[in-house]
Chains A and B, each alone.
Chain A
Amino acid sequence: MSPVLEVTGLRTHFHTRAGVVKAVDGVSFKLEQGEIMGLVGESGSGKTVTGFSLLGLVDPPGRIVEGSVRLNGTELVGMSERDLRRRRGREISMVFQDPIATLNPMFTVGQQMRMALESHGSISGRAAAARSEELLTMVGIPSPRARLRAYPHEFSGGMRQRVAIAIALLHRPSVIVADEPTTALDVSIQAQILATMRTLATETGTSLIWISHDLAVVSSLATRLAVMYAGRVVEEGPTADILRRPRHPYTQGLIASLPAMAEPGAPLTQIPGTTPSLLSLPPGCPFAPRCPRATAACAAEPVLTRDGTRAVACFHPAEPA
């Protein structure tokens, strides 16, 4: 079976006055139907820009300069804005970090859902209400019919995020990009939303890209992980395998610094150095300056190389188990 979404060599650059910021500079991955993939990395590693690139929603001065995004077999890069618009919401949609900022405070939830429904063909008010109600039920909003007439400020943060998820699901898209959708929420609510998302993905067959800086959260949800560093995917593979035996030194550092991995009482491990500026990245492996295993070979840029189910972009990867 061919993948729902296939991203190859994606590069999204921002041409600013200070220079070219290569926010995304070589991202490749595949997403199967119904699969949940975690896209992990520090802030500034290009995760969010990758997400926006998939929907063709990069704001100027940013632009996709290279690469391919194939959604259900159709190439999205270079597609006209009109055709892209038709696919957004219907084939691919997105959920954002802050549910307070995403919903329009001036419209009722019902009005916003109806706008989203009407954007892909006319629909009667009755049908729109029925569909909206169905979705609200699905994401676990109590007394959905009454809530359609409520405004966003009348919902709690977690409930608002559920509404946003319901809107993203209205047209049963093949892919949903979720950009840190639980970061702004309380931990207990975070767990509920995670559970809901997992159920929805299984029930509807929707594939999910879960963007997060929090490896612990993602690994509890995603079946596969892609780790990003400095705009590139540096390692990719099944979650369990990567957690058990990370191959890229950066991934190793990331996992070693997880509190759950540490011996009780022992200090947490840290990756030395800081995230590089994407404005003036030296050639070669971007992680080399912080890498314990770096050698002269790392002055060249490593390519993401596949080996069975796993891929890594490193000249000195750890051996897979």
Chain B
Amino acid sequence: MLGFVIQRLLQAIMVMAVMSVIVFCGVYAIGNPIDIVIPPDATQDLREEAIRRLGLDQPLWKQYLTFAGNLMQGDFGRSFVYNIPVLELIGGRLPATLELVLISVLSATVLGVSLGVYAGYRPDSWLSKTIMAVSVLGFSVPSFWVGLILILTFAVNLGWLPAGGRGDTVLVWGVPFSFLTLDGLSHIVLPAINLALFKLAMMIRLARAGTREIMLTDTIKFARAAGISEAVILRRHLLKLISIPIITVFGLELGSTLAFAVVTETIFSWPGVGKLIIDSIGVLDRPVMVAYLILVAFLFVLINFTVDLVFALIDPRIRAGATE
């Protein structure tokens, strides 16, 4: 087991190193950010001074080494636009995004698996057909459009819920949370639904496909032949067997939801990193873009690593393979 963990850790570090090079080159190779920081009518001296200060006169590989060295020390540079350390900037926005993403993915998974298992268990009932029709919609309709409709319906026409912002927050261990206050909760409902809908559709499909397949296997037939009740078969045999694909997708989706939060945060003016990155892309604030991408890559690697570990814990076959 220890060997397995170390092997995975090394892999993760490799991926991070490669990602940092790709991201750095990708972002720094194109465009000239100096035009954004410096007013166009600035003197040549002022311009060169700024280029030196930002280190943009160095060759690309030297810039990368400086950047990588700083990265090791937790220094991601300063935002060209806000002129504060990037880490501070992103760190301030991250809790909002993580709160939104976690609530969305968790509720999508719980609801999606329940609905999907039902639809897979009784594929011919009208309720299952309705569930599947809705899931096709959730799958096809672009998420920004769903956001607009949610705002139009619940904020503009009905006036039940606010259309944007985070509302009141409560500090828990110094981190602000929205869902702990009534006002915050009312603010998070629409963006969370918006973000969750696609994942919900995906979980429904996954759970349904898995259920249909598993219910036809000899494992289930054998359990039935032994007189085990349908409730126990569903609750224990089926759930345990579909947990592997579900956990894989849960992990992957956690990452991609982080990315999709960009859209939702823009629509609902949710003050998270997604909104920050869109603004930064607009003004070519490179350090923020680089740090954001590195952060997303890091979260991806972290999630994959965790998923592998969880696998090893729940699947006895992998657990055995890892110790060999």
Which positions in A face B, CB cutoff 8 Å? 52, 55, 57, 59, 85-90, 93-94, 96-98, 101-108, 115-116, 118-120, 151, 153-154, 164, 167-168, 170-171
Contacts and interface: CB of A to CB of B under 8 A. Distances in A.
Nearest to A89: B227
Interface of B is mostly: helix
A88 B225 contact: yes
B320 A154 contact: yes
Contact of B228 (A101, A102, A119, A154): A119
Contacts of B256: none
A93 B224 CA distance: 9
B227 A87 contact: yes
Contacts of A98: 218
Interface in B191-230: 216-219, 221-230
12 contacts: A55-B224, A57-B221, A59-B216, A85-B224, A88-B224, A106-B314, A106-B316, A108-B316, A115-B223, A115-B226, A119-B226, A168-B225
A96 B226 contact: no
B47 interface: no
Interface residues on B, range: 20 to 34
B299 interface: no
Contact of A106 (B222, B227, B230, B240): B240
Nearest to B317: A153
A172 B55 CA distance: 82
Given A103-B219, A105-B317, A171 B241 contact: no
A302 B192 CA distance: 69
B228 A116 contact: yes
B315 interface: yes
A161 B147 CA distance: 55
A120 B229 CA distance: 9
A90 B227 CA distance: 7
Contacts of B227: 85-90, 93, 116, 119-120, 171
Contacts of A105: 315-317
B53 interface: no
A282 B306 CA distance: 61
A170 B226 contact: yes
Contact of A164 (B216, B222, B229, B320): B222
A168 to B, nearest CB: 7
